[in-house]
Amino acid sequence: MVIRRVDPLSAGKIAGLLYAMIGLLFGAVFSVIGMAGATFASEAGDGAPFLGALFGVGAIIVLPIFYGVLGFIAFAIGAVLYNVLAGMVGGLRVEVD
């Protein structure tokens, strides 16, 4: 079996969703870190503990969107480049049972 062409839009959609899920995971980690930082800042009496909480909540929203959009763009460009190169050399040969 030879893969001769990859649809850039379908590759981009799959990659966008995968990267959005990765962004959600990273956003959750950053959110926990931000909330912990806000808690420690409020206990220590340092100024503006709400900034850590705002950063944590913002990470849940911003990172999945950022990762998803960049993943979509990168994989769509990669699929176009693959199609150009596969046209020159014949594609990617895959052996399946």
**Measured between alpha carbons, how far is 34 from 3 in angstroms, rounded to an integer?**
45
User: Residue 75's pLDDT is what?
Assistant: 93
Give dist(CA 81, CA 75) in Å, integer.
Answer: 10
SS (HEC) of 35-95 = HHHHHHHHHHCCCCCHHHHHHHHHHHHHHHHHHHHHHHHHHHHHHHHHHHHHHHHCCEECC
Each of the 97 residues of the chain gets a pLDDT tens digit; together they read 888 888 999 999 999 999 999 999 998 888 888 777 777 766 666 656 666 667 777 888 888 999 999 999 999 999 999 999 998 998 888 887 7
Instruction: Provide the pLDDT for residue 90.
Output: 86
pLDDT of residue 32: 84
- Coil vs helix vs strand at 17: helix
- Domain residue ranges in the chain: 27-92
What pLDDT is recorded for position 61?
87
The pLDDT value recorded for residue 47 is 58
Write the single-letter amino acid at 75: F
